[in-house]
Amino acid sequence: MVNVFQLLAWNRDAASVGSPDLNTWSKSFKVTIKALSSKEYVRIHVPEPLDRNDGSFLMRYRMYGSVNEGLLIEVLHKDKHVAQSPYILKDLNRMLEEVPRRFAEQRGAIVHYTILNNQIYRRSLGKYTDFKMFSDEILQSLARKVRLPDIEFYINVGDWPVEHRKVNDTPGPLPMISWCGSTDTRDIILPTYDITHSTLETLRGVTNDLLSIQGHTGPSWDNKTEQAFFRGRDSREERLQLVRMSKKYPDLLDAGITAYFFFREMEKELGKAPLIGFFDFFKYKYQVNVDGTVAAYRFPYLMMGDSLVLKQSSPYYEHFYSALKPGKHYIPFKRSLGDLIEKIHWAKENDEEVRKIAKEGQKLVRELLQPHRLYCYYYKVFQMYAKRQTSHPEIRDKMEHVPQPDDNTTICKCHKKKKSKDEL
pLDDT of residue 422: 47
The answer on pLDDT for 180 being more than 50 is yes
Other CB atoms within 10 Å distance of the CB of residue 257 = 23
pTM here is: 0.77
pLDDT single digits (tens) 17-28: 333 454 555 567
Asked if residue 10 has pLDDT above 70, the reply is no
Amino acid letter for position 210: L
Cβ contact 163:185 at 8 Å: yes
Please name the residues in contact with 321: beta carbons below 8 A apart, sequence gap of 6 or more: 295
Is residue 258 within 8 Å of 274, Cβ to Cβ? yes
Q: What is the mean pLDDT of residues 181-195?
A: 96
Instruction: Compute the residue count for the chain.
Output: 424
Contacts of 165 by beta carbon, 8 Å cutoff, 6+ apart: 171, 172, 173, 174, 186
Amino acid at 338: G
Do 73 and 60 form a contact (C-beta atoms < 8 A)? no
Q: Is the pLDDT reported for residue 98 higher than 50?
A: yes
Is residue 92 pLDDT above 50, yes or no? yes
Answer yes or no: are the C-beta atoms of 240 and 230 closer than 8 Å. no
Q: Which of 92, 112, 225 is nearest to 177 (CA)?
A: 112
In angstroms, rounded to a whole number, what is the distance separating the alpha carbons of residues 243 and 161? 28
Q: Report how far residue 70's alpha carbon sits from residue 72's, in angstroms, rounded to the nearest whole number.
A: 7
**Res 9 pLDDT > 60:** no
Band of residue 420 on the pLDDT scale cut at 50, 70, 90 = very low
135-156 pLDDT, tens digit per residue, is 999 999 999 999 999 999 999 9
Specify the pLDDT at position 101: 85
Confidence band, pLDDT 50/70/90 cuts, at residue 46? confident
Asked if 42 and 82 touch (Cβ cutoff 8 Å), the reply is no
Tell me the CB-side half-sphere exposure of residue 17, using CA atoms within 13 A. Answer: 6
What Cα–Cα distance (Å) separates residue 40 from each residue in 62, 332, 388? 17, 54, 19
Mean pLDDT across 355-379: 96
> Are 67 and 42 contacting, i.e. CB atoms less than 8 angstroms apart?
yes
CB atoms within 10 A of CB 310: 24
Strands 3-11 and 56-63: antiparallel
- Could you tell me if 215 and 189 are in contact, meaning their C-beta atoms sit under 8 angstroms apart? no
Q: Are strands 316-317 and 110-116 parallel, antiparallel or unpaired?
A: unpaired
Tens-digit pLDDT profile for residues 189-232: 999 999 999 888 775 655 677 888 888 899 999 999 999 999 99
* Average pLDDT of span 97-103: 86
> In this predicted model, which residue has the larger pLDDT, 31 or 18?
31
C-beta separation of 96 from 83 below 8 A: no
- The per-residue pLDDT for 39 is 84
- What is the distance between the alpha carbons of residues 139 and 151, in angstroms, rounded to a whole number? 12
Q: List phi, psi (to 5°) of 164.
A: -95, -5
HEC string of the chain?
Answer: CCEEEEEEEEEHHHCCCCCCCHHHHHHCEEEEEEECCCCCCCCEECCCCEECCCCEEEEEEEECCCCCCCEEEEEEECCEECCCCCEEECCHHHHHHHHHHHHHHHHCCEEEEEEECCEEEEEEECCCCCCHHHHHHHHHHHHHHCCCCCEEEEEECCCCCCCCCCCCCCCCCCCCEECCEECCCCCEECCCHHHHHHHHCCCCCCCCCCCHHHHCCCCCHHHCEEEEEEEEECCCHHHHHHHHHHHHCCCCEEEEEEECCCCHHHHHHHCCCCCCCHHHHHHEEEEEECCCCCCCCCHHHHHHCCCEEEEECCCEECCCHHHCCECCCEEEECCCCCCHHHHHHHHHHCHHHHHHHHHHHHHHHHHHCCHHHHHHHHHHHHHHHHHHCCCCCCCCCCCEEECCCCHHHHCCCCCCCCCCHHHC
Predicted pLDDT of residue 26: 55
Greater model confidence, 408 or 103: 103
